[in-house]
Structure 1
Amino acid sequence: MDSTRVVALSQDMPFSQTLMDRLYAAIEPDTIIPFDPKDRGSRSAALRDAEIAIIAGDTLEDDVLEAPKLRWVHCDHAGLNRSARPEVFAKGLIVTGAAGRSAPALAEHAMMFCLVLSSGFTLFQDAQRRHEWFRGPELDQLGALYGKTMGIVGLGHTGCELAKRAKAFGMTVLGYRRRRAERPPGVDVVFCADEGQGIYELLEKSDCVVLAITLSDATHHLINAEAFARMKPSAFIINLARGEVIDRDALIAALETKQIAGAGLDVTDPEPLPVGDQLWDTPGVLITPHFSAPVADRRDRSVDIIIENLARYKAGQDLINGLTPEDIWTPDNRG
């Protein structure tokens, strides 16, 4: 590997001058070519000689894949399913992202859904609007999170942050991940795909099921009618992943027939959710618009990830947050 490289750097990175100075210092002594992502000529000129490209979005255009010398692309975006194209792996391109920068906030968002659903908060909110001191029979079905079981599907950055918070609430925590690894803090039992274990035992035992897994061909409609049939009638499902991880028709049916007690959705299928979509009025659903309150140092954390990977790349080490063939997502091939 050459001692100096060409780094194509998109000019729409959402960083302060102080953070950009940090980034430039980490790239040096390599050559930096800033480019306007909206100007095809500027993009082409920068990508022609680049070994590394740092971009703001989550989609790799064809000109990126066709860049002759490009070896690594970093996308300043957490979810990279739009970039997980078969052509990326055929080319042997390294693609990394910003997963983990908002993990604490996402974990809080999941806990918010769990607390609201388990406490029946919407019942009290509706009663307050009616100016009513509500103590109806519906309250007999509620219960604190303490002593209950949370099942986390996906033990990446967000899943691990969530496990610590659920444990702090006195919950038993089950986790599901692709490969066996050291058990994360706060997780009591881990189920692993590479050991032939599925998610059904986790679903059967959990009072709150949280999806924090990437969208791929393997996880598309992972939660389907069979999955809902395995869940407790009193259980909730929380989706922080992508809408397509859940079969929406199966979700609506499970909620309408009270096969499960409720759902907290920060992501939907489709997205944005159309005004007249059935999900808006499905009983037991809470919806947020793919938004969680940001952590104060989110952009600092983004730059930290890039700098860490720059050091690893220069040292010939594996990069963090890299896409793998298991992440391939080919929605165009679906009927």
Structure 2
Amino acid sequence: MGGGEITKRGKGLVLLAVIPFPEDAAKETLAEIREEFPDLEYHYIFQKFVINQNSAPGGDVDVPADLLKRVNVLVTISWLPKTAAEVPNIKFIQFISAGTNHVAKHPIYTDTKIPLCSANGVHGPQIAEWVVMMDLIHNHNYIDLYKKQENKDWKHNGELSSRDNVGKTVGILGYGSIGRQVARVAKAMGMKVLAYTASPRKTPESKRDNGFIVPGTGDAEGSFPSAWYSGLDKESLHEFLKVKIDLLVLAVPLTKQTTHFLSTQEFALLNASNPSGTYIANIARGQVIDQAALIKALESKQISGAALDVTDPEPLPKDDPLWDAPNVLITPHVSGVTATTGERIFQVVRENLRRLRDGRGLVNEVDREKGY
């Protein structure tokens, strides 16, 4: 079944997946979906992964017009029909990415009310591990230690330069599914957790995570933070940054309000509240940080370092000065991709198929006004 071939499962819902990974990457969950929905007609088309500014696949995909007319559910990362008229029977579109900013100008997004769902919750475990891994590499001077291993150099100079995380504070800017799993791991290491969200979370219900959650992960009830901060204005953000933060995790969606959310003034505030240096991990989008200001903050030691899985632009040009900035670790937007990603994405698809069948609200539906 792959490479664009079609498998028919009766006269039920028609599901089309246009995705940049092999069909068998979700083999087990797809088998469970077929068993639960025996009349589902499933179509799979591979979309070649081409990195562009949004780290989403690019290029054209050939989807037969007669198939599009019958499709009820589309699973995709970036490919969309040109107009809603091409998919008159669509029930919802399931994106396999946590964000949808890369399609925010598409007519399907701007001019229709077709439900759009994200893959929030799918990437929490692996991205949280990436954040903690980078923080530990930084705190334990692992880059220097690895260089010693490469040189076969058994040398210890007795310096007390490594640091553990007990008693430190992690500030999570964007307390969604990824931030909540970071909080879970950070608490296990003895850290204090501070949460920051766009809107206030003052009641137990407002603190609850109602999105997709990988079992055994996250913070469903919002119980880990010792304090919550909120707001999309710089004044509210500055109140948050005035608290001493040892590890600042950026996990906000990219919107007009969050573009360059961290710039010169914000780095100065971090330095004032923590002169020993805040470590920044960005797994959101590169544009959330003013990259030129970040380079200056690294060079002037306003912050102790930065771990970046996203940059502005992407791919990062070879001559970009960010590559040579001190105490920076850069990965090519890979923190959310593991061998389990495909299965988890289709677990979200399965949940939304169930909700569609039962007449319930979809999980992870995007609020077009908010942008996430």
TM-score (norm 1): 0.84
Give 1:132 deviation, angstroms.
Answer: 6.2
Residue 9 (1) aligns with residue 16 (2) = yes
Q: Deviations over 1:194-217 (max 9, x none)?
A: 899823233232111011122222
**Maintained 8 Å contact 1:152/1:211:** yes
Secondary structure class of the residue paired with 1:199: helix
Amino acid at match of 1:74: Q
The answer (yes or no) to whether the contact 1:221–1:245 under 8 Å persists in 2 is yes
Residue of structure 1 in register with 2:43 after alignment: 34
Shift of 1:82: 1.2
CA distance in 2, matches of 1:167, 1:18: 32
CA deviation digits over 1:166-210, x for unaligned, max 9? 011111110111232225242221212389982323323211101
2:272 aligned with 1:198, yes or no?
no
Rounded Cα–Cα distance in structure 2 between residues aligned with 1:266 and 1:324: 25
* Structure 1, 126-135 or 34-43: larger mean CA deviation: 34-43
Contact 1:19 1:300 in 2 (8 A): yes
Counterpart of 2:31 (choices 14, 17, 21) is 21
2:358 equivalent among 312, 315, 323 = 315
Alignment of 1:131-170 (within 5 A): 131=153, 133-135=155-157, 140=161, 142-170=162-190
Counterpart position of 1:113: 134
* 1:210 equivalent in alignment to 2:218: no
CA displacement at 1:71 relative to structure 2:
3.5
Identity of aligned residues (%): 32
Distance 2:232 2:302 in 1: 30
Give the SS at the match of 2:236: coil
**Most deviating of 304-313 and 43-52:** 43-52
The whole-number CA distance in structure 2 between the counterparts of 1:222 and 1:280 is 21
- Partner letter of residue 328 of structure 1? G
Q: 2:345 aligns with which of 284, 288, 302?
A: 302
- Which of residues 206, 217, 224 in structure 1 aligns to 2:263? 224
Query: CA offsets, 1:83-120, max 9 Å, x none?
Result: 23373143111111322223111101100111122222
Cα distance in 1 for partners of 2:32, 2:256 equals 37
Q: Does 1:261 align with 2:282?
A: no
Instruction: Work out whether residues 153 and 211 of structure 1, in 8 Å CA contact, stay in contact via their aligned partners in 2.
Output: yes
Kept after mapping to 2: 8 A contact 1:174/1:189? yes
Q: 1:127 Cα deviation (Å)? A: 4.2
SS at match of 2:102: coil
Q: Is the CA contact 1:214–1:327 (under 8 Å) kept in the aligned structure 2?
A: no
Structure-2 change in CA distance of 1:85 and 1:11 (3 Å): closer
Between structures 1 and 2, the one with greater helix share: 1
Task: For residues 291-313 of structure 1, give each alpha carbon's deviation from its aligned partner in whole angstroms, at most 9, with x where no partner exists.
Answer: 23855543332221111111112
Do structure 1's residue 178 and structure 2's residue 198 form an aligned pair? yes
Give the AA of the match of 1:199: L
User: What is the DSSP-based 3-state SS (H/G/I as helix, E as strand, rest coil) of the residue aligned with 2:170?
Assistant: strand
How many residues matched?
A: 322
CA shift for structure 1 position 158: 1.0
Alpha-carbon offset, residue 10 of structure 1: 2.7
Q: By how many angstroms is 1:250 displaced?
A: 0.9
2:321 counterpart residue number: 278
Unmatched tracts of structure 1, length 5 or more:
330-335
Contact in 2 for aligned 1:26/1:310 (Cα 8 Å) = no
Pairwise CA distance, 1:60: 2.9
Q: Which moved more, 1:86-95 or 1:270-279?
A: 86-95
Question: How far apart are the structure 1 equivalents of 2:279 and 2:165?
Answer: 12
SS in 2 for 1:150: strand
Q: Considering only aligned residues, what root-mean-square deviation do their CA atoms show, in Å?
A: 3.0
Q: What CA distance in whole angstroms lies between the structure 1 residues aligned with 2:37 and 2:84?
A: 20
Query: Where does the alignment leave 5 or more consecutive residues of structure 2 unmatched?
Result: 1-10, 48-59, 208-220
Return the alpha-carbon distance in structure 1 between the equivalents of residues 90 and 184 of structure 2.
39
Task: Verify: 1:100 aligned to 2:107, yes or no.
Answer: no
